[in-house]
Amino acid sequence: MLLPLFTSAKGKDKAAKTTKVYMQPLNKDYHAAVSLVNLEEGKYTLTIESENGVNVYYDAVLKSPESFAKVFDFSRLEDGEYTIRVKNKEGVVERHFGLENGKVKVYYEEKEEPVFKTVGQKAIFVLPNENNLNYSIRVLDAEGEQLFATNENASTIKKMFDFSNVEAGRYQILVSSNKSDYSFDFVNQR
């Protein structure tokens, strides 16, 4: 039988791209200060998109200064989830936030890839999850039979699986949410 050895939750600082989007909710309902720092020379666009993909704000920041700051009034927007997206020829930087009953809630996650390591007959999986998304974690054997299943939503999901009590062979660890899916292969060589 395959058993997880432990599960833990922990906050974690994350490294970000050169350009950063900072957002600070203000005391006045539906207001937040947005700052862009470490802008490289060039043309930038700043958009705010609703959770259903509709652009609710667009601005072209031309010939970038080193930084940009603006106070936004979100009072005309419905409660829900939104994304600030800053784009240039080098890529995109995002900041996610929500509106609820006049309050602005900023999500400080930067998308990070999960870490998967093996130590002997143990598989270790760590996934930053600052939005506390619900992840389904399943372990399958070579024939696709499910050996273990759980759901996790901690801010950092950390699982260790001990394969010392199962037959030698190939196993798959599947981790999925409504936003992303990851798959890891583990070969148990008893």
> Each residue of 47-70: pLDDT tens digit?
999 998 899 998 877 566 667 788
> Each residue of 16-43: pLDDT tens digit?
347 788 888 888 889 999 888 877 777 8
Would you place residue 146 in the very low, low, confident or very high pLDDT band (cuts 50, 70, 90)? very high
Q: Is the model's pLDDT at 160 over the cut of 50?
A: yes
If you average pLDDT over residues 111-124, what whole number do you get?
A: 82
pLDDT attached to residue 155: 79
What's the pTM value of the predicted model, to 2 decimals? 0.49
Q: Is the model's pLDDT at 130 over the cut of 80?
A: no
Q: Is the model's pLDDT at 14 over the cut of 70?
A: no
DSSP code per residue over 49-102:
EETTS-EEEEEEE-S--SEEEEEEE-TTSPSEEEEEEEEETTEEEEEEEEEETT
Portion of the chain with pLDDT greater than 90, in percent: 34
Domains of the chain, earliest start first: 3-13+111-188 (2.60.40.3080), 20-107 (2.60.40.1930)
If you average pLDDT over residues 109-116, what whole number do you get?
A: 69
With contact defined as beta carbons under 8 Å apart, do 137 and 150 qualify?
Answer: yes
pLDDT-wise least confident of 3-12, 57-66, 74-83, 117-126: 3-12
pLDDT attached to residue 112: 62
List CB contacts of 153: < 8 A, sequence separation 6 or more. Answer: 129, 132, 133, 134, 135
